[in-house]
Amino acid sequence: MVEVAHGEGVSLPDIPRSLEPLIREHAQALEEGRIPPPLVDALYDAGVFRAMLPREVGGLEVEPVEWLQLIEELARINGSVGWLAFINSGVGLTFLDPERFERFRERGGGRMILAMNLGRMAGKAVKVEGGYRISGRWPFASGSPFATWLGGMSAVCGEDGSPILDASGQPRRLLAIWPADQARIIDTWDGLGLRGTGSGDFEISDLFVPQDQVNAEIFGTAVYDRPLFRIKEMPEVGHAAHALGIASAALQSFVEAVNTKPLPGSMRHMTMGHMQAHQIAFARADALVRAARALLYETMRAAYADATANPELALELRVRLREANIFTVRAAREAVGLVFEMAGSSAVYRGRVIEQAFRDINTAVNHTNYVESAYSTIGSYFLTRDRPGGPEIAGRPFL
């Protein structure tokens, strides 16, 4: 059980059921790329945007498997809402002690919702007294339209603008955050799917960012040494739960279509689900989703148990979490593809559940972390873990 803002004890899987009517009410606005304020308020008040925050600062400090169930169910209801639920869950803020967190929350109008881009070192940061002056433009900032703080990676540069290199010859980097009202939000998001995530750009120009809003490494050192915060792969594995929810929605919609009275004159609808090819494909899709879910949840349970017993998560469990994440996302896309093909032309109309699932899952999977080659480091680990000197990638120590 967890405590939400109003003090009522609820389990995380109950939250989607309470929010479903509101989410469906605003489904068209989300499809048009608008994130309605009442929905943002409801997600925040229910604790969805505070799930990964410590209890000391009003967070839920979730149990990981229940959190995966929460994300999966929200994504089943709406892919964009499920995406925002794990992206904007509070990750990256555990370096803030309670006093600093409260100060930042007040600066954000009473909320601390952080939207970031961690995949691109798109800024330049010049050291000055008391902090840095930073300029840059970062894309794919999901949740930026309603975030109270924004953040991104920058290269540390000299006054002449040239990058300062570290011992390995790479540009020194830092992660900085700043109040959202100090940046310019640029609505560039017109993606294939996940249209309601507000994943546009934001830009700052020569902004002074104080030292206490900057980390030399991603997220910095966690102030709260507890099991949830020892799993560095949180909330990355939210991708997997999100993908499961989208696939489940597609499977459920196809079953409903098969068991609906056929449209007059539609031979395709009359035979839908009754052909052997459909039965085989549906069984394959169902097995893919079930197998992926089992692997994901089993691995997360093992990781949480290890993080509870030890001060640092075992390397092998970190690898297995990444493996389960990749497999689950790709398996979900395959399952949705099978359903989309079986549904035929009925699935191509914009707004149909299967059509939206197809767009959402292919947008979510089209990410460098989930291409086929992402498995390479996983395979390298298992192939070399028993080698003298430990596991290697291209002759170098793993991770």
Give the pLDDT band of residue 8 (cuts 50, 70, 90).
Answer: very low
Task: Tell me the C-alpha distance between 159 and 169, whole Å.
Answer: 19
**Coil, strand or helix: which one is 282?**
helix
Q: How large is the average pLDDT for residues 168-176?
A: 90
211 CB-near residues (< 8 Å, 6+ apart) = 130, 131, 132
* Range list for CATH 2.40.110.10 in the chain: 114-215
Does residue 265 carry a pLDDT above 70?
no
Task: Tell me the C-alpha distance between 138 and 121, whole Å.
Answer: 8
* Range list for CATH 1.10.540.10 in the chain: 2-87
Token pair of 185, please?
A: 């939000």
46-83: pLDDT as tens digits: 999 999 999 999 999 999 999 999 999 999 999 999 99
Q: Which architecture characterizes domain 2-87 according to CATH?
A: Orthogonal Bundle (1.10)
76-127: pLDDT as tens digits: 999 999 999 999 999 888 888 999 999 999 998 899 999 998 888 999 999 9
Closest among 339, 336, 328 to 292, alpha carbons compared: 328
Task: Tell me the C-alpha distance between 5 and 351, whole Å.
Answer: 34
Per-residue confidence (pLDDT) for residue 2, from 0 to 100: 36
Given a contact cutoff of 8 angstroms between Cβ atoms, the answer to whether 171 and 164 are in contact is: yes
Task: Tell me the C-alpha distance between 209 and 104, whole Å.
Answer: 13
Give the pLDDT band of residue 9 (cuts 50, 70, 90).
Answer: low
The pTM assigned to this predicted structure is: 0.92
Q: How large is the average pLDDT for residues 164-189?
A: 93
Q: Which DSSP symbol is given to 78?
A: -
Task: Tell me the C-alpha distance between 107 and 179, whole Å.
Answer: 7
* Range list for CATH 1.20.140.10 in the chain: 227-397
Q: How large is the average pLDDT for residues 267-281?
A: 78
103 CB-near residues (< 8 Å, 6+ apart) = none
Checking DSSP bridges between strand 149-157 and strand 114-128, what pairing results, if any? parallel
366-396: pLDDT as tens digits: 988 888 889 999 999 999 999 888 888 766 6
Neighbours of 38 (CB within 10 A): 11
**Coil, strand or helix: which one is 11?**
coil
Task: Tell me the C-alpha distance between 198 and 202, whole Å.
Answer: 11
**Coil, strand or helix: which one is 84?**
helix
Does residue 1 carry a pLDDT above 50?
no
Task: Tell me the C-alpha distance between 398 and 31, whole Å.
Answer: 42
Q: For the structural domain made of 114-215, what CATH number should be given? A: 2.40.110.10
Give CA separation, 11 vs 20, 26, 155, 157, in Å.
15, 24, 42, 47
Give CA separation, 239 vs 9, 213, 220, in Å.
27, 27, 23
Does residue 4 carry a pLDDT above 80?
no
Q: For the structural domain made of 227-397, what CATH number should be given? A: 1.20.140.10
Neighbours of 369 (CB within 10 A): 13
Q: 220 versus 28: which is more confidently predicted? A: 28
